[in-house]
Structure 1
Amino acid sequence: MQQSSAFVNWFRNSSPYIHAHRNRTFVIFFSGVAVTEPEFDKLIHDFALLKSLGVRLVLVHGIRPQVDEQLLQQGDTPKFHHHLRITDSATLQYVKQAAGLVRVEIEALLSMGVSGSPMAGAKIRVASGNFVTAKPLGVLDGIDYCHTGKVRRIDTEAINRQLEQNNVVLISPIGYSPSGEIFNLSAEEVATEVAIALQAEKLILLTEQTCSSPIDNSPIPQLTSDQAAALLQTSPALPDAVARSLYAAIQSCQQGVRRAHLINRHLDGALLLELFTRDGIGTLISSSEFETIRTATLDDIGGIMELIKPLEQQGILVKRSREKLEMEINDYVVIERDGLIIGCTAFHVMQGYQYAEIACLAVHPDYRNGARGNRLLEYLTSNAQNQAIKRLYVRSTQTMHWFVERGFNACEIQDLPEPIQSAYNYQRNSKIFYKDIH
């Protein structure tokens, strides 16, 4: 029974993300190494699940180990410069073979529909094609890259047409020139350019390692694109694959992709945990702060009501109707975390007085150890200073010590300004505190 309850709670908590992701375009990169491993079918099952939930899915795969294997079998040595393959005419043949083999393997896995398996009834149609126009990389540092190229243009119209027909789009790291030449491309670059061209909701990079802090090796949950760029500059010891994925994430976020995620693919179910849980399991990159404090809008009322309802039921907060919230919404401040309201408070300024009252301060139970209550209070204090407010008041029945610890002093009902005093609820018998603003 406990297991069933945990599943129900998880499923309910995932519903905001299911709604948010529906009809959004996700570009997902995974390496050629991933394709070679026995557990790859689980990743395919997760792709199928995303598709069933209405995600517009573009998959970009790598082929590096497959090409290396064919070169070594022929007694040739793979040649790289700055992590890019030097693709001579012989190597280009292996690139074409590897791209074809890997693409067919992925298509076969996406076509599975065995009864009783996670793919049962999926009926996924896969579209591949010449979506990427490329040009030669040329000569860099005196090195001729031969048939290694770079992305010149993405055929967004053709990709969108396939997505609108409910197909999964599968793209290999191969590009074509208008003159019919074929170029070997970096799969990370292809995924990045596709995500930018489509203005995708997310670029998801399935990495071979976790993106971790170089200081204590702890996983990094989130970064802005500026912070990620600083990490690249100051941490030369980052694993090459992680560094390349970070660079791809930065490029995409700086050019219109809302979110990029680095996810260690070796963690079973990591893709689902990252996309359908509050805190995820990978590293989220965004151009702006992932968690912000801002003035509330009417669109936030549902989130505020969901946040404060348990506290109202416990008697910690006074009950507020939706109509009252709508009337006072301009007084509210919220903490938004990736589209979810995880904290709120109200700041009622007494017109004609140099006083204001703090009310309805609440933080989601899962986030109460992150000093978010302090951040809300600091935000209100800053607002008070900007508006020349001299004193803050607060009424509380169960969190008195929290306010006292932050410099509030107790006072009596008769000490309150008339507007607050006339609204005092004697039935609740709240304690009253104030703090002078300097």
Structure 2
Amino acid sequence: MSTVFHFTFVPWFRSVAPYIHMHRGKTFVVGVAGEAIAAGKLQHIAQDLALIQSMGVRIVLVHGFRPQVNEQLKAKGHASRFSHGMRITDEVTLDSAQEAAGQLRYEIEAAFSQGLPNTPMAGSTVRIISGNFITARPIGVLDGVDFQHSGMVRKVDVAGIARALDFGAMVLLSPFGFSPTGEAFNLTMEEVATSVAIALQADKLIFLAEIPGVRVRPDEPEGDDNPIDTELPLAAAEELLARLPGAQHPTDTAFYLQHCVKACKAGVERSHIVPFATDGSLLLEIYVHDGIGTMVVDEKLENLREATSDDVGGILQLIEPFEKDGTLVTRSRTEIERDIANYSIIEHDGVIFACAALYPYPEAKTGEMAALTVSPQVQGQGDGEKVLKRVEQRARAMGLESIFVLTTRTMHWFLKRGFVQVDPDWLPEARKRKYNWDRKSLVFVKKLA
């Protein structure tokens, strides 16, 4: 095995490990558009879902069947009719939907039964449980349009789904529901997935969709200068939805986004739009920090707080690369454990992405901000400023009138944020005695208002 592989695999696996640990025991609801199956993506999606489940994630899979129903109707010479972004289901369409759903469930169960050698599913056993977990009600007449056998979710059998998940099975749901009298209703995959995620209070709702996500500027054409917005705060997502035209088609930005926002507002911590066209997109979205699609998230989930002894390992992992390249002075584990109460951190998804320590010198009414570090994964997103503000708040609470930093490389960052350079002789006597004249660090001070 090549040395190059070792050097690429080991750091990659270490970066993925926190996410594997974090997601263990969590519940994900995954909505797969029927277009993904029509495009021949089922085998790889099944392999990736089996791999995710093998790492301890509880999965509810909801499949769509829009193109499959259209195909059935075309074969019968019957036109597809839509309104308000939903299918109008007459008797012929209901029969076609039931036939398409039966065929798709067979194909999905077959895909999860192939524990083929030399694939991620080798030796795996994935049990699929499906059933009448959804109670539905008719949409009825909406704006003068009679939706007939099209319905909406009335109730989700949370206890039944939870029992199946506790059994270690993957739950498979078709976009069908039944009334208490046994009448069948055609539902949308998006509404079923969203309703189930809310009812279960799932940790994630993920749509494997036709679109790559939400663009930074949704009204403009796609391109390198208009990339995917990988993380959309809930408030920003709501604001965007209010500006967008109504969602009539799955390729409309608002089509999946409206369901992500609904889920997030109802307590589902994170909801995602992920492109099925990209092989392995589920794995990239779940186990890589930046992901590949768009995640709608309540920004309160980002935790800016004081560090505890449990954070020592995460801080060490964060600052180690900067110590190696000389940006930071090397600190031992013992030193960080001793001073852990001095540290403030930003934690997101259980991973520390920024930190800084405050060492007060009360006799001089100043304090040193040390070890200010922001992960390269999130640089440019404002985490440095957030930690700086927290350190300033802590310093003011201690009655300090200024904070100072010693740096050899990042002077411009501090100058832009109100620091001014001073001579090392300015340092408090206790700190001056520890100043490394060989390192020739520059000293910058910021007065606190």
TM-score, scaled relative to structure 2: 0.89
Identify the match of residue 303 of structure 1 among 286, 303, 314: 314
Alignment-derived partner of residue 282 in structure 1: 293
Match of 2:11, SS state, is helix
Does residue 37 of structure 1 match 2:43? no
Distance 1:254 1:237, change over 3 A: closer
- Whether the 8 Å contact between 2:23 and 2:56 is mirrored in structure 1 is yes
Match of 2:243 in 1: 234
Question: Which shifted more, 201-210 or 114-123?
Answer: 114-123
Q: 1:3-402 to 2 correspondence within 5 Å?
A: 3-210=5-212, 211-212=214-215, 213-216=217-220, 217=222, 218-236=227-245, 240-241=249-250, 242-288=253-299, 291=302, 293-314=304-325, 316-351=327-362, 354-370=365-381, 372-381=383-392, 384=395, 389-400=400-411, 402=413
Task: State whether residues 331 and 346 of structure 1, in contact with CA within 8 Å, keep that contact through their aligned partners in structure 2.
Answer: yes
**Equivalences, count:** 437
What letter corresponds to residue 228 of structure 1 in structure 2?
A
Asked if 2 retains the 8 angstrom alpha-carbon contact of 1:409 and 1:435, the reply is no
* Residues 380/106 of structure 1: CA separation in 2 closer, same or farther (3 Å cut): same
The alpha carbon displacement at 1:265 in A equals 0.7
How far is the alpha carbon of 1:315 from its aligned partner?
5.1
Distance 1:136 1:215 in 2: 34
**1:432 equivalenced with 2:443 (yes/no):** yes
C-alpha change, 1:316 and 1:243, in structure 2 (3 Å) is: closer
Aligned to 1:412: 424
1: CA distance between counterparts of 2:403 and 2:371? 14
1:384-405 CA distances to partner (integer Å, 9 max, x unpaired)?
A: 5676632222233554565456
**Cα 1:28–1:36 shift into 2, 3 Å:** same
Give the distance between the partners of 2:20 and 2:424, measured in 1 at CA.
49
CA distance change for structure 1 residues 122 and 207 in 2, over 3 Å: closer, same or farther? same
Contact 1:30 1:60 in 2 (8 A): yes
1:91-119 CA distances to partner (integer Å, 9 max, x unpaired)? 21222111111111111111112333443
Task: State the shift of 1:253 in Å.
Answer: 1.0
Please, which moves more after superposition, 336-345 or 425-434?
425-434
Structure 2 alignment gaps of length 5 or more:
none
Amino acid at match of 1:39: K
Higher mean C-alpha displacement, 352-361 vs 134-143: 352-361
- Cα distance, 1:262–1:290 mapped onto 2, change above 3 Å: farther
1:308-336 Cα deviation digits (max 9, x unpaired): 23334455434444454345434322233
| Corresponding letter in the other structure for 2:260 | A
CA RMSD between the two structures: 2.6
1:113–1:120 contact (8 Å) kept in structure 2: yes
Task: Go from structure 1 to structure 2 and tell me whether the alpha carbon gap of 1:352 and 1:215 turns closer, same or farther (over 3 Å shift).
Answer: farther
What CA deviation, in whole Å up to 9, does each residue of 1:172-193 have, x standing for no partner?
A: 0010111111111111010011
Find the aligned partners of 2:195 and 2:91 in 1 and give their Cα distance: 26
TM-score, normalization by structure 1: 0.91
Identity of aligned residues (%): 43
Is the CA contact 1:205–1:263 (under 8 Å) kept in the aligned structure 2? Answer: yes
Contact 1:214 1:238 in 2 (8 A): no
Q: Is the 8 A contact 1:26 1:57 kept in 2?
A: yes
Using a 3 Å threshold, how does the CA distance of structure 1 residues 429 and 220 change in structure 2: closer, same or farther? closer
Q: Deviations over 1:343-391 (max 9, x none)?
A: 2111233446532221111222344455543443344345556766322
Gaps of 5+ in 1: none
Aligned counterparts of 2:14 and 2:238: Cα–Cα separation in 1: 36
